[in-house]
């Protein structure tokens, strides 16, 4: 089978890409509006892109009607985010926050999600998330340049919070205890419970 993605409608290309590029890590992003409202939303077009400086990238698409999503508006306005990783235990709650809510409704309040204040940023983080990265927005790049439907947020990590319960020792995270989920195509998700080691060649 060959697919001419360049000739496809955007929604069809999306379906093929998200069904094949799997599993994708999930960024569960908290941000704060200029009015002080806490927004929380998941994004699976997400990755670590640099270690010096430590930088994460989250791709935030536009709403179906072309309006910017709250995460993008808040990132532009405040320049701060907290990016959380999603454990299997938190997957149902994460899925709830994918609902489209009015801008004046906080997902944190609507779904009763516990938070604590950020340490380096004025954005709260989720109490139960196994990993949280407090970030400063480095840049926001519209893509594609001619008719942007996505915005690539490059977020520099200022501080990482890792739950002691997921640590194997002082320097290593135990992936079994971390128990993250990834995004597949359609309605499907995966876990990181099945693993195998391979030594990298010299």
If DSSP states are collapsed to H, E and C, what string results for the chain?
A: CCCCHHHCCHHHHHHHHHHHCCCEECEEEEEECCCCCEEEEEECCEEEEEECCEEEEEEEEECCCCCECHHHHHHHHHCEEEEECCEHHHHHHHHHCCCCCCCCCCHHHHCCCCEECCCCCCCCEECCCCEEEEEEEEEEEEECCCCCCEEEEEEEEEEEEECHHHECCCCCECHHHHCEEEECCCCCEEECCCCCCCCCCC
CA 73/CA 130 separation, integer angstroms: 26
Residue found under tokens 């990181």: 192
How high is the pLDDT of residue 98?
95
Average pLDDT score over residue span 15-43: 96
Residue 103 has pLDDT above 90, yes or no: no
Residue 50 has pLDDT above 90, yes or no: yes
Residue 64 has pLDDT above 90, yes or no: no
Percent of the chain whose predicted confidence (pLDDT) is above 90: 88
Residue 28 has pLDDT above 90, yes or no: yes
CA 34/CA 61 separation, integer angstroms: 20
CA 137/CA 13 separation, integer angstroms: 29
How high is the pLDDT of residue 63?
87
| pLDDT, mean over the chain | 95
Confidence of residue 47 (pLDDT cuts 50, 70, 90): very high
Q: Poorest-confidence range of 20-24, 105-109, 194-198? A: 194-198
How high is the pLDDT of residue 87?
98
The CATH architecture annotation of domain 25-186 reads Roll (2.30)
2-10 own/partner pairs: CB under 8 Å, 24+ apart? 10/149
How high is the pLDDT of residue 66?
85
The per-residue pLDDT for range 146-202, each reduced to its tens digit, is: 889 999 999 999 999 999 999 999 999 999 999 999 999 999 999 998 889 899 999
pTM of the predicted model as reported, rounded to 2 decimal places: 0.95
């Amino acid at each position: 089978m060959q697919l001419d993605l360049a000739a496809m409608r955007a929604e069809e290309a999306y379906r093929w890409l998200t069904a094949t590029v799997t599993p994708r890590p999930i960024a569960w992003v908290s941000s704060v509006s200029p009015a002080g409202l806490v927004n929380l939303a998941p994004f699976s077009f997400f990755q670590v892109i640099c270690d010096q400086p430590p930088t994460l990238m989250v791709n935030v698409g536009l709403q179906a009607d072309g309006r910017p999503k709250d995460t993008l508006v808040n990132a532009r306005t405040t320049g701060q985010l907290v990016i959380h990783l999603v454990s299997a235990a938190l997957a149902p709650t994460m899925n709830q926050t994918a609902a489209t809510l009015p801008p004046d409704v906080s997902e944190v309040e609507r779904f009763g999600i516990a938070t604590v204040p950020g340490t380096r940023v004025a954005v709260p983080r989720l109490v139960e998330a196994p990993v949280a990265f407090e970030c400063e927005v480095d840049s926001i790049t519209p893509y594609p340049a001619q008719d942007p439907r996505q915005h690539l947020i490059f977020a520099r990590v200022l501080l990482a919070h890792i739950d002691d319960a997921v640590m194997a020792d002082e320097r290593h995270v135990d992936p079994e205890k971390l128990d993250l989920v990834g995004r597949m195509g359609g309605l499907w998700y995966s876990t990181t419970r099945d693993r195998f080691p391979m030594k990298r060649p010299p």
